[in-house]
Amino acid sequence: MADNLLDIRNLRIAATIYPPGEKAAELVIVKDVSLTLEKGKVLGLIGESGAGKSTIGLAAMGYGRGSIRLSGQVWLNGRDILAGSTRDLRRLRGKEVTYVSQSAAASFNPAKRLMEQIIESALEHGTASKSEAEARAVALFDDLGLPDPENFGRRFPHQVSGGQLQRAMTVMALVPEPDLIIFDEPTTALDVTTQIDVLAAIKKAIRNTDVAAIYITHDLAVVAQVSDEIMVLRHGEKIERNTAEAIITRSVEDYTKALVSVRSIDHEEKRPTDNPVLVARNISAAYGNMVQVLDDVSVEVHAGQTLAVVGESGSGKSTLARVITGLLPPFEGDVMFGERSLSKALVNRSKDDLRELQMIYQMADTAMNPRQTVGTIIGRPLEFYFGLRGAEKRKRVAELLEEIEMGDGFLDRYPAELSGGQKQRVCIARALAAKPSLIICDEVTSALDPLVADGILKLLLRLQKIENVAYLFITHDLATVKAIADSIAVMYQGRLVRYGPKSQVLAPPFDDYTDLLLKSVPEMKIGWLEDVLETRRMESAGN
């Protein structure tokens, strides 16, 4: 249609895969998807991992990774870009269409100043002179609330926060004055307080420049704040498309309804026992030449219960886990495990100390050896701690796979053959194989889509009842905290600002920081972002 900036027709995206020991096969990622987008409008693409969201976003730029093959038509500004040459595509990328990725930190060159990188595309495509591009960037810095706009571009990437760097990447996408921007999970890696600022900045930038955008995410509450319409995808197919308000309040398809109603976990808070499994007492820790990260932190975890440690990036959550595991010896304080004091350094801890304290990481992809089968990965702790071999080990691995609701059919599979949720389940089984008393869960659901994350949380709670294992759950997601925690430790700038049973920590009156965290959790409601920003404005004016 002539009125549409972007018109994707019958898009099919496939890739060639090479399963171990088998012939090459075709994997269809996107199946006959069509969509349109008008100038100045925002279309949200939502769905679980592997739904094809990012692949469609990249296809809107005429781009396919690796062996991916695109077929169908992608009309941008009245021409089919898939029919164009490689040279034609290079001319439009960074000019007519730009891209904002999930990880701004990985997208900037650490050796170059921000301004040099932000204006590079505009200079390359000749959409502005250097002075014009810099002036546009400074105006956008100011518009998006970045500090000291005149001099912000002189900084290096490591000299700004994650939220500031994500906004800087949005500026980089806007400086060439494109017609279309692809936002690919731009707030997923951010804590909730920073996410508010970045969402507000993105929405303001779109409104002020009249650019069209595709906003890719797995968080329906987030996409509802910035999108005019939302398309729901699953397994590479379109499930439903409607206005954001209609998707939230009166969705038609069962899958969409499940996305809207996710996180309805009913977890009854348990009372602390007399003898905690772990006590971290008066912990102070620092990196390098005494850059203090933790300041007099004391917490305890009880058998069969979950302590959620919550706070924004840089609050000290993961550093506390590093101290407890012995990876970072504290300069003050000690860690008690049961009746014994743990050595501050990992190298001095006993084999039993290592066995009883396990850890599950955020990124399951990097936590497993891609060349080992699931059976080998889960079997390693069984060999190391209990000396199991052969049929006895294989039998126990199969039992653990049943516990995580996967079954022994996965024994001989490799990580590349698993979904994101399945990979995280394998990591859970590996931790359970050691029969630990405590498992530290470090942001284990933050990289997963809501439905898969919901399944992982329910699995962890079920296993906790069976094994009576304690969890120390590190997260910045308050919805997760409400769903699984028995007690909560709120951290801010290395200090404990609120601590106790969940029912007390989440009950008013609140300290200023806990109040800010709770108010920053996105709600499945159109206009929620504007309400939060207006409340902040009124509170600021009152002060």
- Tens-digit pLDDT profile for residues 140-198: 998 888 889 999 999 999 888 777 888 899 999 999 999 999 999 888 767 788 888 88
Extract the runs of DSSP E, i.e. beta strands, from 459-523: 470-475, 487-492, 495-501
Where does the pLDDT of residue 44 fall: very low under 50, low under 70, confident under 90, or very high at 90 and above?
very high
Statement: residue 354 has pLDDT above 60 = yes
CB 502 within 8 A of CB 488: yes
Beta carbons of 102 and 188 less than 8 angstroms apart: yes
What SS3 state is found at 447? coil
Q: What integer pLDDT is reported at residue 219 of this predicted model? A: 83
- Residue that the structure tokens 């109040």 belong to: 515
- Reported as type and span, the H/E element at residue 477 is none
Distance of alpha carbon 383 from the chain centroid: 33
The predicted structure's pLDDT at residue 21: 67
pLDDT at 213 over 50: yes
CATH class of 38-62+86-260: alpha beta
The domains spanning 38-62+86-260 and 278-507 adopt the same CATH topology: yes
Measured CA to CA, the distance from residue 212 to residue 183 in angstroms comes to: 11
Residue found by looking up tokens 């018109």 in the block:
7
Pairing of strands 97-100, 495-501: unpaired
Split at pLDDT 50, 70, 90, the class of 1 is very low
Cα 267 to chain centroid, rounded: 23
Q: What's the pLDDT score for residue 100?
A: 93
Q: In whole angstroms, give the CA distance from residue 543 to residue 540.
A: 5
Q: Is the bond leading into 272 cis (omega within 30 degrees of zero)?
A: no
Cα Rg, the chain, nearest whole Å = 25
Task: Name the residue ranges covered by the structural domains of the chain.
Answer: 38-62+86-260, 278-507
Q: What is the pLDDT of residues 230-244, one digit of tens each?
A: 999 998 999 999 999
Would you state the CATH architecture of domain 278-507?
3-Layer(aba) Sandwich (3.40)
For 452-468, what is the mean pLDDT? 89
pLDDT mean over 462-471 = 92
Residue 114 has which token pair? 């921000």
User: Could you report the per-residue pLDDT of 328-341, keeping only the tens digit for each?
Assistant: 999 999 999 988 99
pLDDT for 261 equals: 79
Q: Model-level pTM?
A: 0.80
Residue type, position 139, single letter: A
**H-state helical runs in 144-191:** 149-152, 162-174
pLDDT tens digit sequence for 479-508? 788 889 999 999 999 999 999 999 999 999
Q: Is 541 helix (H, G, I), strand (E, B) or coil?
A: helix
Contact 35, 229 (CB under 8 A): no
Given a cut of 70, whether residue 19 has pLDDT beyond it is no
pLDDT of residue 263: 60
Mean pLDDT of the chain: 90
